[in-house]
Every structure is written in C-alpha cells, then in structure tokens.
Amino acid sequence: MAKQRLSVRKIKEVLRLSWEEGRSQREIARSLGIGRSTVGEYLARARETGLKWPLPAEWTDGRLEAELFPPPLPTGTPRPQPDWPAVQRELSKPRKKTAVTLQLLWVEYRAVHPEDGYGYSRFCELYRAWQDTVDVVCRQPYVAGEQAFVDYAGLTVEITDPGTGEIWNAPVFVGILGASNYTYCEASRSRSLPDWIAAHVRMLEFWGGSPRLLTPDNEKAGVRQASYYEPDVNRTYHDFANHYHVTVLPARPYRPADKAKVQAGVQNVERWVLAPLRHHTFFGLGEVNEAIRPRLQALNERPFQKLEGSRRSLFEELDRPALRPLPPTRYEYAEWKQAKVHIDYHIQVDGRFYSVPHQLARRPVEVRLTATTVEIFHRGQRVAAHRRAHRKGSYSTEATHMPEHHRAHLEWTPDRFRRWGRRVGQETARLVDGILERRPHPQQAYRTCLGLMRLERDYGPERLEAASARAVQIGGLSWSSVKSILESGFDRLPLQPSLPLRLPQQHPNVRGPDYYRGPEHPPHPPFDSKGH
C-alpha cells in the first residue's frame, strides 16, 4: 500500500500516461517523481474497479477518489459472497457464444454490490479457494461440448456361457463429458478394435451429439504407440473421428492430471453401477447391459454433494446445446491396410484381388475394408472401389482400369507370355494358353505366368517342360500344381499315356462266380468302389 495517497490530479496523470500514452510503470514513476510500486498500486486499483480511459465527462475528482478508495466496512459486517456454482457454470459455457471471463463475472458481481463487494484480486483468490473444496470431478471448468474422456473400468462383469458353463469377463467401457460429467458405460465383448469403435458409436448416440475433443487413456486398441509429444492414433480410430468431426487427443503418459476426470468417472461407475451387480449371474452380454441402464440413469440423476443439480441437469444446461450434431449416417467399421499394386494393376488383400487404374502399377496404396466394400486410396484420393469378395483367389476387375493398348502402357502382355511358353517348349505353351483362356480377363492370369517364369529360373526349361506336360495331362492348370510336380520330382518319371478304362465283355457262355455256389451259399454282395 502507498504510504501517502496521491492527489487526484496525479492519479489521473498515472492513468493517462499508462492507458493513453502506453508508458511503462518505470517511466511514469520517473515523470511524476513517485515510486514505481505506487504506480503499480493505483493501476491495479483502477483495473479492479473496472475504470476505462478516458473517464466519463461527468465524473468529478470526488467520484474518482470514491471509486478507487471505497470506505471500509464497519467491523464485523460480512461481505456478500459470490454464487460460486453459478460462476462455475458460466465459465463452462461455450466462449464463442458467451465470451464470459472471470473478470466480467466480477464486474457483474460488483454492479450488484458496489459498496461492499470484493475487489478483483480477492474475488479470484476466493474462487480458487472454493474450487479446492469441490470434488476433483467438478473442479476444472471445462467448456461445454468441448471435451470428453474415455477409458475402460478396472472392474469387469462375469458372464456364464449357458451352453458350456464357461465364465468369461466382459470389460466395461466408460465415457465422461468434461463440462457436465454426464456418464456413459456399457459392457463389451472384448477390448479389441471393433468393440472399442462400436462402444464409441453407441456413446455418441447416447449423448445425441459429439464433442470437439476426445481423450482416450492410450488404450492399445485406439492408440498404437503412446508418446508424450506425438501419440500414434490407430488409422481406424482416426477414420471414426473424421466421420464424427472429432479430434482425438490421447492423454499424455505419466500425467495423471490429464485423466483425472475419467478416473473419477470410472470410480463412480464401479461404485454405483457395477458394485450393486456383483451378486447377479449373467448369461449374456445383452442381459448385462439391460441391468446397467437403470443404474447408469440413477448415477446421472444423483445430486452433486457440493454443487447444485446433477450430471443430467448440467448436461441439459451445458453440454447438450453445445454438442455437434451427429452425421446422418452411422459410422461403418473399417480396417485400413497397406498394399502395393502389381504389374497386372491388381492389389491382393486377404487372398482376394482388386483392380486399380493401370497407371498405378508398382505404386503403394492404402486400402479401406468394410464388411461390404473395398476402397483403394492413393495419396489420400480414392482411386477405386469394389464390392468385397468372399471367395479366396477371386478377382474383381473394373474394365475402365485396363489400358487400351498393353504394349503402350505395360511391358507384360498375353502375347509376351505365349512367346515365352513357346520358347520353353510345346507343353509349356499349351499350359500358358490354358491358363490365359480360363480367366475372364487375361490380365488376371499374369501372376500365374510370372510364377511359371520363376520356376524356369529355379528348375530349368527341361524340367519345366516335363512338369507342364504332366500338369496339362491331369488338368492342373495352375502354378501350384506345376510347383508341386517339380518339388516331388514327378517330372523325372516317364509320362504314362492315359488309357480309357476297359470293362470285361458280357457273353452268355462266360460263367460268373455264382455259378459254382450251391443253394446254401448266397451270392456275394456287389463290390464297392474300392473293390471290397
């Protein structure tokens, strides 16, 4: 505090030099011949009072002095206390819509209590002290609709298989909205990526909207690598977040403060939802979630101990109006894989083959797999889409992906494979022709022909020719058949001509085996296929 009050003239000059001229406290102190701490004190009083420069024209020196130096309250008179829960709710509302700050709330408080209200500094101190008395769940004023936290509970639910009697433990997924602490939980079949994503989808539908930030606790299903600076989010999790316009921001490892909200929420779920179910015997996942729903509703409607209202009332007031609307379509689970386009402009995924534009031959692509579709991306752009094939080894070829003239676009053509087959030998040429003719599009046979060329390098043209002859004879028009013949050495054995099966001629003078049997011996039953 200043030892001696300055004259009003000097106080006005302090305000002018600071707010109008932009001078530093050191320069103002030297100009007016007063201490720098005195300059700082008067500027702080002016800020706490909410003064603005220039002062209103009707203000007299006495009015300014009264604003800066209000008379002390009589001894024992309590100052009016701010409504701290209301302050907390106002600070949690979206700032883009309200632009509320703690200083604005203090100005409104002083407008109601101009004579006996707290100064701004004391107001802030008391607010922080009140926060320390509130449960950790509600202590930090999260912006409405801004952030949600997800994790799995430490407790699981035992489910008994009614058929085998086997008991397995169902993990419990938990989601918490930051501003209202509105809670969602469900029992899942596992902690795998499909169940992790499905639980997120149902959580957002339960809330009726999506927040802007989603903070998981580095769950392995969603975060491939936990990192303080650059956590690696799973590609499918990122795809889900993009569908709902959510930013995934994993909690930093070894930073408990980042996940205090969800840890407290998980603790409440374990106490008020899971613990009451400990004596129940469940025989299915749906049965568990049916039992969870009423207890979850009771948890959300349970009154706060040190705040007004409940999770549901705060959700309706704060989070629900601020959540982003859900997209018109529900997210369809998809997995992402890396692939490389082969020279036949097809990629191989799970043993099936899908075409892409031939210009992408030999280039890497990303593949998005859903239950029904296969989408192929190159440098972030979708270049092809197919129905997902179910038969292994099948081809899905789009005619527009094929080049008009293979010689101009690709070095491999059906004629080149045929020329190579004729160079090796007549039987190899027959084999190549048969392979090319069996496919709807010759390009689908390129991999098989390339495999035969590799077998020539490994075993030599003579052995490949002999193996091709045997493969043609038995109808094995595939790379695997020729390779099996070569590995077993059957190509070195003499090729036996295939003769038709001759049946014995029927003649009335030819006696059968029953001719020599007496009446006491019944005839043999007919022979089976093995001659028995």
Number of alpha helices (DSSP H) and beta strands (DSSP E) in the chain: 21, 16
Mean pLDDT of 269-293: 92
Tell the CATH topology of 8-68: Arc Repressor Mutant, subunit A (1.10.10)
Per-residue CA distances from 230 to 45, 151, 233, 452 (Å): 45, 20, 9, 47
Long-range contact pairs involving 277-280 (C-beta distance under 8 Å, separation at least 24): 277/157
Mean pLDDT of the residues in the chain: 80
Q: In the structure, what pLDDT confidence band is assigned to residue 136 with cuts at 50, 70 and 90?
A: very low
Q: Tell me the pairing of strands 172-177 and 147-152.
A: antiparallel
Calpha distance 317→323 (Å, rounded): 11
CB 402 within 8 A of CB 446: no
Q: Looking at the DSSP assignment, which residues form a beta bridge with residue 168?
A: 159
Q: Which of 157-166, 221-230, 406-415 has the highest mean pLDDT?
A: 157-166
Q: Where in the chain is the domain with CATH 3.30.420.10?
A: 147-322
Residues in the chain, how many? 532
pTM metric for this prediction: 0.54
Q: What are phi and psi of 222, to 5 degrees?
A: -105, -25
The predicted-structure confidence for 487-507, as pLDDT tens digits, reads as follows: 998 888 887 765 443 444 555
Q: Where in the chain is the domain with CATH 1.10.10?
A: 8-68
The predicted-structure confidence for 519-532, as pLDDT tens digits, reads as follows: 554 544 444 444 44
Calpha distance 480→214 (Å, rounded): 50
In 388-499, DSSP assigns E strands to 395-396
Calpha distance 189→195 (Å, rounded): 7
3-state secondary structure of 245: coil
Tell the CATH topology of 147-322: Nucleotidyltransferase; domain 5 (3.30.420)
Listed in sequence order, the residues at least 6 apart from 382 whose beta carbon sits closer than 8 Å to its beta carbon are 375, 376
Residue for token digits 């639910």? 157
Mean pLDDT of 265-276: 90
Q: Is the pLDDT of residue 195 over 50?
A: yes
Mean pLDDT of 389-412: 73
Amino acid 36: pLDDT: 85
Q: What are phi and psi of 59, to 5 degrees?
A: -75, 130
Amino acid 357: pLDDT: 92
